Amino acid sequence: MTYWSEFLFVAAAHLLAVASPGPDFAIVLRQSITHGRKTAIWTSLGVGSGISVHVGYSLLGIGLLISQSQVWFDVVKYIGAAYLAWIGGHALLAKPAGADRADPGNPLAAKSEPTPETHGAFMTGFLVNVLNPKAALFFIALFSVGINPHTPRLIQAGYGLWMVLATAGWFVLVSLFFTREAVRRNFLRFGHWFERVMGVLLLALAVRLAFASLR
């Protein structure tokens, strides 16, 4: 038996899901504009690595148990909503960057908060992805309905590896686009107002997540 048709189905479904605007896209966009390319790329790698968690419990069958438990679903969604709200709240309170805080050699350097360390940027992307219950439900459905249960676990793990790499690759491309000097400069023309708009967007996503339903 060949698994190419199944893989193409998985790849297409995943592509549609990952390209849809959501918390992952919002956080990578914010990191790109506010903190620059390095931070955005590490955040993207964190998002991609978060996929491995969803794949892991889907392969183990634990995801199916979670999908049947309203209590566990609520725990994940409220933690995820609180985390997004925390990030959004910080962005919403952004203040204009003072002239003394800008790097005179880089007109894009003025920002309302310190640039995260590599580990911090990675963990931000990782947690935003892992704590999104809608992402969890997508992978649970994909592995329980979209993939034949007789497909060897090793092949299914290969599908998962592809989705990890494809997710990271997609958001790295998003990072590269939004950190192009011309693109980033246009966003930064609005200065701290961009941060506040992103704060509102992240808070809106947090509220939407908090009211997400298992069914």
Question: In tens digits, what is the pLDDT along the chain, a chain of 215 residues?
Answer: 578 899 999 999 999 889 888 899 999 999 999 899 999 999 999 999 999 999 998 888 766 666 666 777 787 778 878 877 888 887 777 666 543 444 444 444 444 567 889 999 999 999 999 988 888 888 888 887 788 888 999 999 999 999 999 999 999 999 999 999 888 888 777 766 777 787 788 788 788 777 776 55
How far apart CA 41 and CA 32 sit, in angstroms, is 8
Q: How far is it, in rounded angstroms, from Cα 188 to Cα 132?
A: 28
Give the pLDDT confidence score for residue 102 in this predicted structure: 44
- 82: number of Cβ within 10 Å: 13
pLDDT for the residue numbered 94: 67
CB 135 within 8 A of CB 54: yes
At residue 147, the pLDDT reads 86
- What is the pLDDT at residue 81? 82
Residue 19's nearest CA partner among 147, 173, 184, 215 is 173
For residues 37 and 109, is the Cβ–Cβ distance under 8 A?
Answer: no
Q: What is the pLDDT of residue 113?
A: 67
Q: How high is the pLDDT of residue 101?
A: 45
State how far the Cα of 66 lies from the Cα of 109, in Å rounded to an integer: 44
* Residue linked to tokens 């203040």: 95
Q: In this structure, what are the phi and psi dihedrals at residue 150, rounded to the nearest 5 degrees?
A: -85, -5
Task: Tokens for 132, please give them.
Answer: 């999104």
Domains of the chain, residue spans: 23-94+115-210
- The model carries a pTM of 0.79
Q: What are the start-end ranges of the H helices in the chain?
A: 4-19, 23-35, 37-60, 62-67, 70-92, 118-130, 133-141, 153-178, 181-188, 192-210
